Structure 1
Amino acid sequence: MTSTDLLIQREGPCAKLIISNPPKRNAIATATAAALVDALNALDQDPDVRVIVVTGEGEYFSSGGDLDEFLATVDAGATQLWETGEPWQTLFGLIPTLSKPVIARVVGSAMAGACGLVAACDFAYASEDATFGSPEIKIGLFPLFILPALLNRLGQRHALDLALTGRTIDSADALRMGLVNAVVGRDQLDDLVGQHVAALSKLEPATVKRGKHAFHKISSVGFTEGLELARGLRPAFMCSEELRRGIEKFFNKKGVKA
C-alpha cells in the first residue's frame, strides 16, 4: 500500500502544494490532511509567498479520503475516531483563516474530501475534463467534514444534491453551481492559474490579509450584522499605510497632486 506524499514547489511568489500518490489517485489519508495543515501554516508565515496553489500529481487532483485507511478504522472506538478527526476538522477550517489566497488547480477527478478541499479554497480553476462529486453515501458514509465548505460554496440545494445523491458532476456543472471559478482546456489551465497568481501577487499582502478576514467574517453573519461588522472593520483599512500608498500611486498615475 503506497503512502501519499505532499510535495512543495516554489515558483517565485507562488508556492505549489502537490498531493502525490498517483497509484491511488492521490488519495488523502489522515496523515496527508495533517501534512497539508502544517504546510499551509508554514507557507502562510513565509513573507516570500504571496499565493498558494493546491493540486494533485499527474492525471488527478485527488480521489478523496483513503479507503484503505477507512476500512482499517471501521472497528475503531469513538475516542480514536474523535482524535483522528482533528486534522480533517483543522484542514477544512484553516484556509479561510490564512492571510494568503489559496487556489485549487483541478485536473481529472476531485472526489469526496478532495471535492471539499476545492470548495474550501479561495479560488478554483479546472480543466474541461475535471469531475467532482461527494460519493460517500454510496459506501455508507456521509460527507460531514466537507459539508460546511460545500454549503458555503454551493448553497443548500446544490450541497444536498451532491451529498445525498453521491452523483458525479462534470466541470460545466461545477462552474454552474459555483464550485469553480472558471473552466478551460487542460493545455490552458496553467496559464490561467498563472495569470491569477500574478495578479494576486501584485496586491499589498496586508490588505489581502485584512480583506480575507473581513470577507469571511461578514459572509458568516446576516445582512444587518454584516453591516455592523463592516463599520467595525473599516478603520483597519482606512488608517493603513497600504491605503496611503495606494492613493498616492493613483494620483501620481493621473498626474494630480493629492
Structure 2
Amino acid sequence: MNWQAIDITMHERVATVTLDRPDVRNAFNEATIAELALAFDELGRDEDVRAIVLAANGSAFCAGGDLNWMKQMAGYSDAENRADAAKLADMLRTIYLCPKPVVARIQGDCYAGGMGLVAACDIAVAVDEANFCLSEVKLGLIPATISPYVIKAMGENAARRYFLTAERFSAREAHRIGFVHEVVPAADLDATVAAIIKALVGNSPNAVKEAKVLVRDMVGRPVDHALLADSAERIAAIRASSEGREGVASFLEKRKPSWLD
C-alpha cells in the first residue's frame, strides 16, 4: 500500500510502524488515523508478525492533532464531529486490542493525542530529553478520546493534575508516574527497544497474545469465585494448547521450542 502518513518495515518478524510527517512534528490528521487503524488491524492478523514497534521520524514523536485538521473540524456539524471522533477512538482501540505486543519508541516530544498513541501501546521507552504534555485544556478542549488509555497508563491521581493544568513534564516524570516503562539516553534508545523486542519474540506467540488479554480482563475485578474460576479455566486451556504442551516439553527436554525455529 502507498502510505501517506506512516511507513511500515519488516525485519525478522518484527514490524515497525513509523509516523512519517516530520514537517508537522508528526501531528496526526484523518489520513494518519485511517492508516494507523488499517496498519494495526492487518499486522495484528498477520501470523508472521511477532511484535510491533511504533516509532516516528524527526525531532518529535507526535505533537497531537494537526492544526489544519483541527481548523477544518471547527466547521463540522455535530454529526460530523461525532463521526470524526469515533474514527480516532477506533484507531486507538485497534492499537490497544492488537493481539501482538506493541512497543512505543519515543525519540522526542509527545503531546496531547500523541500521548494517547503511547498509552495504547503495551510498553513505552522514551529518550531522557523527551517532554510530555496533555495540552487540550489550553485550547478549550479535553483529552476525552485518549483518556481511557492515558488514565490507565499514568493513574487517576496523575491524570487529575496533568489533564487540568496542561503542564509540560519530563520523561523522568513520565517514568515516575508509570506512563513510560524506561527512560534512556538517545544513544541507548535503539538498543533498549531491541532488547525488549528480543524478549518478546522469544516467547510463545499464543501465550503473549493470551497474556495481553489476561491483563485487560483482570484489572479492577474483585477476587471472588468468578475470578478464581476464570483464572483456572485460562491456565487449564493454555496448558492444553499446542504451544503450551510444546513449551513444557522443550523445557524438560532442554531444547528450543518450535516457535524459535
Aligned to 2:175: 175
- The reply on whether 1:93 has 2:89 as its aligned counterpart is no
- The reply on whether 1:238 has 2:242 as its aligned counterpart is no
Are the structure 2 counterparts of residues 150 and 21 from structure 1 closer, same or farther at C-alpha, using a change threshold of 3 Å? same
Aligned to 2:55: 55
> If the length of structure 2 is used for normalisation, what is the TM-score?
0.91
SS in 2 for 1:55: strand
2:5–2:31 Cα contact (<8 Å) kept:
no
Tell me the percent identity.
31
Q: Map 1:1-258 to 2 at 5 A.
A: 5-224=5-224, 226-253=227-254
SS in 2 for 1:132: strand
1:4–1:19 Cα contact (<8 Å) kept:
no
Are the structure 2 counterparts of residues 75 and 228 from structure 1 closer, same or farther at C-alpha, using a change threshold of 3 Å? farther
- Output the CA distance in 2 between the equivalents of 1:220 and 1:237: 23
Are the structure 2 counterparts of residues 200 and 28 from structure 1 closer, same or farther at C-alpha, using a change threshold of 3 Å? same
Shift of 1:228: 4.3
Are the structure 2 counterparts of residues 251 and 232 from structure 1 closer, same or farther at C-alpha, using a change threshold of 3 Å? closer
- Output the CA distance in 2 between the equivalents of 1:253 and 1:75: 64
- Output the CA distance in 2 between the equivalents of 1:195 and 1:113: 27
Aligned to 2:258: none
Are the structure 2 counterparts of residues 139 and 4 from structure 1 closer, same or farther at C-alpha, using a change threshold of 3 Å? farther
Question: Which sections of structure 1, spanning at least 5 residues, go unmatched?
Answer: none
> If the length of structure 1 is used for normalisation, what is the TM-score?
0.92
- Output the CA distance in 2 between the equivalents of 1:29 and 1:44: 22
SS in 2 for 1:179: coil
Shift of 1:226: 4.1
Q: Which runs of structure 1 show a deviation greater than 6 angstroms over 4 or more consecutive aligned residues? A: none
SS in 1 for 2:6: strand
Shift of 1:4: 6.2
Shift of 1:134: 0.5
Shift of 1:229: 3.0
SS in 2 for 1:236: helix
- Output the CA distance in 1 between the equivalents of 2:229 and 2:94: 25
Shift of 1:198: 1.2
2:134–2:163 Cα contact (<8 Å) kept:
yes
Moved more, 128-137 or 238-247: 238-247
Shift of 1:222: 3.5
- Output the CA distance in 2 between the equivalents of 1:220 and 1:196: 27
